[in-house]
Amino acid sequence: MKVAVIGAGSTYTPELVSGLVRERDRLNVTQLVLHDIDPERLEVVGGLSRRILERQGFTGQLGLTGELDQALDCADAVLIQIRVGGQAARLRDETIPAACGCVGQETTGAGGLAKAMRTVPVVLEIAERARELAAANAWIVDFTNPVGIVTRALLDAGHRAIGLCNVAINFQRQIASHLGMPPERVLVDQVGLNHLTWIRAVWVDGRNVLPEVIGGYGDTLAHEIGLPRALIDDLGAIPSYYLRYFYAEREVVQEQRMTKPRARVVAEIERDLLELYRDPSLTEKPALLERRGGAYYSEAAIELVASLVSDSGDVRVVDVRNGGALAGLADDDVVEVPARIRAGGAEPVEQPPLAPELLGLVQHVAAYERLAASAAVAGDRDAARRALMAHPLVREYRLAETMLGRLLAVEDPRALSWVGGSW
């Protein structure tokens, strides 16, 4: 099969291509094409990717191209991981809301809306070319943030798409480490929306060990997500670290006003990573990559593609249409839940109802995502303002109008370049 990676200038691409070889028993990739519009990044990242594949005995063809059509032609799987506007746009997403007294984050709240407005049109253009050029049954796997909104836009346009985030696999690895067992024995039952999820069960050999996990490792988990241990005990569930923006909103805003923006930190890490990647003796991902954010997303991506191709029926946490899996949400809402992966797609596993304190927040943000996706597709400023008014981290009309004017001042997607990387 042919796999195309769009936005392959991401510093996480070497991890992704390494995973292809690990899954060679289920994923017979004969052609891998890495695409990016930044030729320098593509050359550097592609060079390390080639050395990793050679070291691991990859026998297929590896291609590097700046031509989108060449990458998509006859592709059986299209992995999209782009960042429209680069880290400069991310910096605006983080700092403009913070200056207005709101959480400044590139996927959540006002910053997430700005990212959606410039990103969704570009992803849809790529998907349309894939519809014309890729294999008839090709799957689009989207890692491009904000994943929930981008996936909704792709599905609304009729594309064969599944969204994917690294949060679930990251928790799986952390919890498995705490329990002292291999990750494949641990299944996290994570539910909600993208970047708005809770773990309500941890399955080990068919038994829910969440009470033991919270009881034995609650303090450590609380430190990892930056929230009080008492909150975990109160909820009886483990919130995603993205829930800190909601459960500790004022604390986060204060921190953001006093510390270096994450966008600047990531930009510095990326510069150092690309310098390391230029070393011709480097044949594996460097330890510095763990500080980049988005840990294990590449591993999750390869596992998902392998499950789709092999029709395995594996259960993986992905972003899909709700279809009744979570009561209280519309069937066409895009949720992040465990789903059984078959060749025909991801079938969400029906979930017990969310507790009221979880459902209320999920419904609030689901309404925002519906409006945000519509605004991004249409380029509708009024709809974008209504989306911000629906978001629990904004709400106020004047605040929404002020931030929107500043965030969208330079957000014509066709005037911006994009480079690889979802985080």
The set of catalytic residues is 242
- Of 385, 300, 312, nearest to 336 (Cα)? 300
- Of 364, 363, 383, nearest to 373 (Cα)? 383
Structural contact between residues 343 and 311, judged by C-beta atoms closer than 8 angstroms: yes
Burial class (CB in 10 A: 0-12, 13-18, 19+), 202: buried
Residue with tokens 């009561």: 327
* Residues near 404 by beta carbon (within 8 Å), at least 6 away in sequence: 110, 113, 381, 384, 385, 388
Rounded Cα gap, residues 166 and 144, in angstroms: 11
The letter for the amino acid at 390 is A
Structural contact between residues 114 and 408, judged by C-beta atoms closer than 8 angstroms: yes
The CA-atom distances, in angstroms, between 319 and each of 76, 206, 336, 420 are 20, 23, 4, 21
The CA-atom distances, in angstroms, between 385 and each of 24, 103, 194, 376, 416 are 47, 17, 21, 11, 22
The CA-atom distances, in angstroms, between 414 and each of 31, 153, 200, 417 are 30, 18, 42, 8
